Amino acid sequence: MAQSSYLYSLPACMLSLCVLVGTTSGQLSANFYASSCPNFSSIISSAVNSAISNEARMGASLLRLHFHDCFVNGCDASVLLDDTANFTGEKTAGPNNNSLRGFDVIDTIKSQLETSCPGVVSCADIVATAARDSVVALGGPSWNLVFGRRDSTTASLSAANSNIPAPTLNLSGLITSFSNQGFTTNEMVALSGSHTIGQARCTVFRARLYNENNINSSFAASLRSNCPSSGGDNNLSPLDVASPTSFDNAYFNNLLNQNGVLHSDQQLFNGGSTDAQVRTYGSNSATFLTDFANGMVKMSNLNPLTGSSGEVRTNCRRTN
User: Distance (Å, rounded) from C-alpha 165 to C-alpha 74?
Assistant: 15
> Of 201, 207, 204, which is closest to residue 220 (Cα–Cα)?
207
Q: Is 23 exposed, middle or buried (0-12, 13-18, 19+ CB in 10 A)?
A: exposed
Q: Is 263 a catalytic residue?
A: no
Yes or no: say if 220 and 254 are a contact pair by the CB < 8 Å rule: no
Beta bridge partners of 201: 236
> Of 240, 260, 76, 58, which is closest to residue 174 (Cα–Cα)?
260
Candidates 66, 68, 195, 263; catalytic one: 68
Residues in the chain: 320
> Of 46, 90, 55, 45, which is closest to residue 199 (Cα–Cα)?
55
Yes or no: say if 129 and 54 are a contact pair by the CB < 8 Å rule: no
Q: Report the catalytic residues.
A: 68
